[in-house]
Each structure stands twice: as C-alpha cells, then as structure tokens.
Amino acid sequence: MLAQQLLNGILAGSVYALFALGFTLMFGVLGVINLTYGFYFSTGAFVALHATRYLHMQIWEALPFAAAIAGLIAIVIDELLLGPLRRAKAPELSSLMVTLGATLLLYSLMTAWFTTDIRRFPPTVFDGGAFEIQGLRITLSQILIVAAVVSIVGGLAWLLRRTKLGLAIRALAENDDVAQLMGVNVGGVVHLVSFISGALGGAAGVMIGLNYNAIQPYMGESMMLKGFAVIILGGLGDIRGAVLAGLALGILETLTAGYVASSMKDAVGFLLLVLTLWFRPVGLFGRIAAKRA
Amino acid sequence: MIDRRRLNLLAVACLGAFAFATGARAADPVTIGAVEILTGPNNKYGVAIKNGFDLALGEVNKAGGVLGAPLAIAYEDSAGNKDQAINAVRALIGAKNAPLILGPTLSNEMFAAGPIANQRKIPIVGTSTTAVGITAIGPYVFRTSLPEADVVPVTLRTARDRLGVKKVAVMYANDDAFSKSGYDVMKAALEKLGIETLTTETFGTRDTDFSAQMTKVKSVNPDAIVVSALVEPAAGILLAKKALGIPASVRVIGGNGLNSPKIGEIAGDAADGVIVGSPWFIGKADPVNQKFVAAYREKYNSDPDQFAAQAYDTLFIVADAIKAAGAADPEKIKDALGKVKHTGVLGPFSFTPDRDPADTSGVVVIEMKDGKFGLLQ
C-alpha cells in the first residue's frame, strides 16, 4: 500500500507543482498575486473537454491546444486588468483587489455558460488501460501526466536558464526599470510570462480533469488554495521551490489520508503553511528573500 | 278534512323535494387543497406530483368518489417560495374551506407552511418532504414519503442477505449535512445488522482526488464500499475505484445521493454495480405498479418518477381517510388518517403514531447496469 500511496502522492504532487509553477512565475516576474490564475486552470480543462468532444482531438493534441488557449486568455486578461495598473505603478494591493473582483466575475460567467454540473472527458479520449507491477497499479493517463509534467518543468527550466529570453525574464524579475534600460522589451516579456503562466495553469487543469475526470467551472478555485500553500511553502517566486513544495504537499496529503485520517488531509497542507510562515517566512526551500525566477 | 290521497301526494312531494335537495348536495364535490411548485425552476417536482394526484383522482372518482360525492383538488402554486407556500395554505383554508391540504413540495416549504395548517387544525400531508423533523411540526402534519433513515437499512440488509456482504469500508463527505446525516444512518444500520466496518474514510464534497482514500480502502479488502455523498463526489469515488483496479465484485452501496441517473452520466461504466435503495422503482413488477405506470404513460406521454408515484398513493390514502371519517371534517379526517391501511405502488402503507410512514417493505433495491438502474438481480 505504501508504494501505491506514494504513487498517488507523486501524481497529485506533480499536478500541484505544475499549477504552482505558473502561479509563482507570475508573481516572481510580474510582481502580482494574480487571483485569476485559477481561472486558467478551469479554462484549460474546459477547452480540452470541448476540443476532444467536438473537434475530436486526441488528448496529446488537446493538451497543448488547451494550454495555448489558456495562455492567450491570460495575456488578454493580464493586459486588460493589470496593464493600466502596471503603467501607473499602482501599489500591489490594488492589483490584488482587481484580480479578486475579476476572478469572481469570470467564474460567474463560466458558471452561467456551463452550469456547475460536473463533466467528464468522453470515454474514448483515453483508454483506461493500466499496468500492474507487484500490486502497484498505474494507469496510462497517470503515466502521461507524470511524463508531461517532467517535460514541461524541464522545458521551462531550460528556457529560463539557457536562453536569452530566459535571461530577459530573469532580468525583469529583478528590476523592470533596469531591464528596460538594458534593452529588454518589457511589454513583450510581460506578455510572454503571462502566456507561459496561463498555459501552465491550463495544462494542469487538463491533467487534473483527465486523471480525476471531473471538470467544472469552480475546479480552479479549490486548486488556488492548494496553489497558495505550495508557493508559500516553496518560497514566493521560487521555481525550484514550487516544484519541490508541490511534490511534498501531494505526498504529505496522500500519506496523511492513507495512514493518519482522511479528514486531516486538507488540514495538513495548511498547517504546514502556517508553520512555514512562522519559522521560515522565506519558504521551506527559499534562500534570503529576493526575487527569483 | 284533507283527503288521504292528497296527503299522500304531499308526503311524496316532500320526500321527492328532500331527495332532490340531498341529491343536489351530493353532487357538490369534496374539495381538498394542494400546494405544489407548479412554476419556476423546480416545477418538475411539483408537476410530477400534480400528475400523480390527478391520475389517482380520476380513479377515485370513477370508483364513486368520497362521501357520495366526487373528490376535487384545488391547486395553489408555491413556486418553490416559502412565503408563497404560506399564503397558499392560508388561501386554501380561508377561501376554499379545504378540510385537508396536500403538499407542499419541499421540506423547507413545509417547515414554513406546516405550522400554519397545524395552528388552524387542518391536516396537511407532505408527499415529498423527507427532511428530519417534518412531522415534529405538530399533530396535524403528516408525510407519506419515506425518509432516508428508513431506506438505507433496507439497502444494507439486502446487500448482506443477497450478496453476502459481511465487512465494508465506509466513506462519507464530512463537510455536508446531507452526507453526514446519511452516514449516521448507515453507521447505526451497519452495527445493527452485524456488518463489520473495516475503515471509515472522509472527504470534502468538492474533492476530486480520492486516490489516497481508495488505496486505503483497497488495502483492507472489503466486501463492499458504503458511500454517503452527493452525486458528484460519489462519481469521483467510482472513477478512483476503477482506476485503482478494485474489482467490480466489490459493490458500492449508496444512500439517496447516489440514486440519480447522473451517477452513470458522470462515472460511465465505472458506475456499473452501484446499489441503492429507493421507495419506488418504475420497473417494479407488481400489478398495481404496472397498472399505474401504464396509465401514467397513457395520460401524460412520459414516464412517472418517484414524486408522481408517491403523490398517486397519497391521494388514495387521503380518499380512504375521508371515507372513513364519514364527513369532510378536518378533525375527523386527521383521526382517520392515522388508521388508514393502503397498499399502493409503493407497497403497503400506514402511518406511525408520529404520522410518518410505518412500513418499509415496499423499498426496492436497484443496481446500475450500462448506465441505467434496474432491479437488483
């Protein structure tokens, strides 16, 4: 049972990690806690659902498609909501409030359109095949999820560390004025970061939708709570921290449900969150407070 | 001196006039009231109930009505609104002089309107109000719908006797009053039936990841999994059960939350084998039910649901009580209701001294197969 629970934990954790990655990137580079982020998660799941159902896409086509759409929507929302505030150099609190209001509006619109009924991918999208190795059971969709998360995280790390674009993003995270003076196209990079973040959130939504087969507008909202816990545990804006904290939270939750009590499952993440803020405000894996991307 | 023949004639004329007068009075229908949701978003419940009443009403009147007169129902629309339900009850008592009221549709409408009828000493009979505490409103408040607390024990007993379920894992949503009260009923019933509970797992109603709980459930090897939840998380549990490869022979036994075709729509073939209890089922084979289903289909061109079936039975119960009371008098009808014994589409029926349904022998246990519920084979 331990092996199976660890597998469950790694799965849940890798989706937390993917989700938190976009969230923390947005915060680290753009300097905003963007509460609309959970909406991209729901959007990704819904786009993939409709792409598979009505455009008859395969899931490996629908995943990048949905991520791209979520990314584009993220650019539009970021530009509409936060662009004016950014240009006016408004304080962080106003951008937080704007995104809070926008989140409520977006979810209400989505609910009005799709209702809160739970939907699932058509059964033909991904056959529920599974491997069983010495009592450990892993389904094909779970393998796809882990493989996709690993390659997306790897790709992002490569982009940030090894490319000129990554350098520009990191420069922007340090100081946008200086980045601009150094010749970075700040507006373009802001859009790029919005796109990457939205796409990461959207991809996470597709995977959650695929693994648990439950898609509904407010799915992003409960994920946001977990997302907050993860990025605070990992250190705000810290990408490596977000991945490690996501995995840790997933495994911890699963083990709590499996060996302590399932009623404690959600409590444990937030307990850890409070403890982290008390004893290591920079996050479990954080170094001295600084913006990192 | 009046001659004898003329006197006789007069007597005959008087008698005739009297007979004519009573004849005219007998033609006046006995009108009872009904408050249901006939418009607005929840009107499918109220309309189904009205259909059930009207179908039974036709049959009652075809068989001679009540008290030598036809029975009639004056409908008022509550639109699912508590205040409107209160006004409807007031109107039926005040303007229509109804000696009995059927409805309202929802439990919370009953909690608002029931006290009014009770205060005016008019019996009020809910056909679809299953919440705890309905009949505690007062001695004039009755209900004919079986509360979940009565259905679940029958489901579990059937699972034990027919499928040999001896040890189970129990799962419930601990953040939702409906699921928690269902769990309390299940826990008590399991203890009473001597079924062993291997583990009890909880989750949140909005959770989607049940893999940790289901892995644990799998590791204790239960004969069945007993679930108290709304339909969405229940579907998630079924999907996780399938993903983890828990065999189909391990059935999921549910409370009323799982008694919905939506479970098959969301969970697909993972929902096959789900077992739930229900006060009524369309495929019940007894002739009374078959006749009801056929008559309903003929009259309304659609299938009856549980609400229509409960309403159909209730109208016969109420008609029996009015007959037994011997007058359209609220007090006498109230006393007569307590003594009614009726066998309808939901099986044998009588009231407990607390005015709840006394008999659970009509409960049917159904299972999901290919996305549809059918009788447990």
Of the partner residues B213, B235, B240, the one whose CB lies closest to the CB of residue A262: B213
Which helix or strand (DSSP H or E) is residue A227 part of? helix A219-234
Choice between A32 and B249, residue whose per-residue pLDDT is larger: B249
Residue B230 lies in a domain: yes
Q: How many domains does chain B contain in total?
A: 2
Chain A hits for B218, CB-CB cut-off 8 Å, are 1, 4
Q: For the residues B199-210, what does the mean pLDDT come to?
A: 87
Chain B residues within an 8 Å CB radius of A14: none
Among B211, B260, B266, the residue to mutate for chain A (most A Cβ within 10 A)? B211
**In sequence order, which residues have a C-beta less than 8 Å from that of residue B189 and are 6 or more positions away?**
B152, B153, B156, B157
The answer on B137 and B253 residing in a single domain is no
Task: Record the tokens describing residue A76, joined without a space.
Answer: 């539009």
Q: Is the same domain home to B197 and B337?
A: no
Please list, residue by residue across B280-310, b when 16 or more beta carbons sit within 10 angstroms of its beta carbon and e when fewer do: bbbebeeeebeebbebbeeebeeebbbbbbb
Instruction: Return left, alpha or beta for B102; rule: phi > 0 is left, psi -120 to 50 is alpha, else beta.
Output: beta
Please report, in tens digits, the pLDDT of each residue of chain A (293 residues total).
888 999 999 999 999 999 999 999 988 888 888 899 999 999 999 999 999 989 988 888 999 999 999 999 999 999 999 989 888 888 888 888 999 999 999 999 998 898 877 788 876 776 667 888 887 888 888 888 899 899 999 999 999 989 999 999 988 888 888 888 888 888 899 999 999 999 999 999 998 888 877 888 888 888 898 898 898 888 887 888 899 999 999 999 999 988 888 888 888 888 888 888 888 887 777 654 444 44
Give the rounded percent of residues in chain B with a pLDDT score beyond 90. 68
Domain boundaries, chain A: 22-218
Q: A8, B215: Cβ pair inside 8 Å?
A: yes
Quote the distance between the C-alpha of residue B36 and its chain's center: 14
A258: which DSSP letter? I
Is B266 in Cβ contact with A128 (below 8 Å)?
Answer: no
Range scoring the smallest mean pLDDT among B22-36, B157-171, B286-300, B336-350: B22-36
More reliable by pLDDT, B285 or B10:
B285
- The reply to whether B354 falls in a domain is no
| pLDDT at residue B28, rounded to an integer | 86
Are the beta carbons of B201 and A257 separated by less than 8 Å?
Answer: yes
Residues of B whose CB is below 8 A from A218:
206
Of the ranges A222-231, B51-60, B88-97, which one carries the lowest mean pLDDT score? A222-231
Among B215, B236, B240, select the one facing A5 at the smallest CB separation. B215
Q: With beta carbons under 8 A apart, name residues in chain B contacting A139.
A: 243
Question: CA geometry: angle at A269 spanning A268 and A271, to 5°?
Answer: 60
Q: Which residues of chain A have a Cβ shorter than 8 Å from any chain B Cβ? A: 1, 4-5, 8-9, 11-12, 118-120, 123, 128, 130, 132, 137, 139, 142, 208, 211-214, 216, 218-219, 222, 253-258, 261-263, 265-266
Say yes or no: B271 and B293 in one domain. Answer: no
In a domain, B208, yes or no: yes
CB B243 within 8 A of CB B217: no
Distance (Å) from the C-alpha of residue A230 to the closest C-alpha of chain B?
Answer: 17
- Across the interface, do B236 and A5 touch by the CB < 8 Å criterion? no
| A137 to B211: CB separation less than 8 angstroms, yes or no | no
The owner of tokens 């011997």 is: B326
Query: Same domain for B197 and B141?
Result: no
Residue B62, H or E segment: helix B43-62
CATH number at residue B93: 3.40.50.2300
Query: Does one domain contain both B241 and B370?
Result: yes
Task: Provide the pLDDT confidence category of residue B22 given band limits of 50, 70 and 90.
Answer: very low
Residue B165: inside a domain: yes
B142 and B290: one domain? yes
> What radius of gyration, in Å, describes the C-alpha atoms of chain A?
19
DSSP string, B255-293: -GGG-STHHHHHHGGGGTT-EEEES--TT--SHHHHHHH
Query: CA-to-CA distance for A217 and A230, rounded, in angstroms?
Result: 22
**Residue B119 banded pLDDT, cuts 50, 70, 90:** very high
Q: Indicate whether B42 and B135 sit together in one domain.
A: yes
Determine the pLDDT at residue B17: 47
Q: Residue B189: which domain range?
A: 149-278+364-375
Residues B320 and B200 in one domain: no
First-to-last alpha carbon distance for chain B, in angstroms, is 86
Q: Which of A24, A44, A82 lies closest to A220 in space, CA to CA?
A: A44
pLDDT tens per residue, range A59-105: 889 999 999 999 999 999 999 999 898 888 888 888 889 999 999 99
Q: What distance in Å separates the CA atoms of residue B134 and residue B346, rounded to the nearest whole number?
A: 20
Q: Is B297 helix (H, G, I), strand (E, B) or coil?
A: helix
Predicted model pTM: 0.76
Q: Is the pLDDT of residue B21 over 70?
A: no
In chain B, residues with a C-beta closer than 8 Å to the C-beta of A111 are none
pLDDT digits 0-9 by tens, B226-243: 999 988 889 889 989 988
More confident residue, B20 or A149: A149
Q: CB A262 to CB B203 under 8 A?
A: yes
Using a CB-CB cut-off of 8 Å, the residues of chain B touching A258 are: 212-213, 215-216
**Over 50: is that where the pLDDT of B18 sits?**
no
CA distance from start to end of chain A? 37
Judge: A12–B211 Cβ closer than 8 Å, yes or no.
yes
* Same domain? B106 vs B167: no
Same domain, B293 and B370: no
Local structure of A216: helix, strand or coil: coil
pLDDT of residue A260: 87
For B45-59, b/e burial (b = at least 16 CB within 10 A) is bbbbbbbbbbbbbee
The pLDDT assigned to B130 comes to 82
Contacting residues of B for A120, CB less than 8 Å apart = 266-268
> Chain A closest CA to B208's CA: distance in Å?
6
Residues B170 and B245 in one domain: yes
Residue B307 inside a domain? The answer is yes
- Please answer yes or no on whether A262 and B201 come within 8 Å at the CB atom: yes
Asked if B160 and B112 sit in the same domain, the reply is no
Per-residue pLDDT at A126:
67
A214 vs B201, B202, B232: nearest CB = B232
Mean pLDDT lowest for which of A175-189, B181-195, B285-299?
A175-189
pLDDT, residue B195, reads: 96
Alpha-carbon distance B206 to nearest alpha carbon in chain A (angstroms): 8
Are the CB atoms for B328 and B99 separated by under 8 Å?
yes
What whole-number distance in Å separates Cα of residue A63 and Cα of residue A59? 6
Measured CA to CA, the distance from residue B239 to residue B206 in angstroms comes to 15
Q: Which helix (H) or strand (E) holds B252?
A: strand B251-254
Check residue B8 and give its pLDDT: 59
Whether ipTM tops 0.90, in short, is no
Nearest residue to B298 (alpha-carbon basis) of B75, B59, B5: B59
Residue B354's φ and ψ, nearest 5 degrees, are: -90, 15
Provide the 3-class DSSP secondary structure of residue A211: helix
Name every chain B residue with its beta carbon within 8 A of the beta carbon of A263. Answer: 174, 202
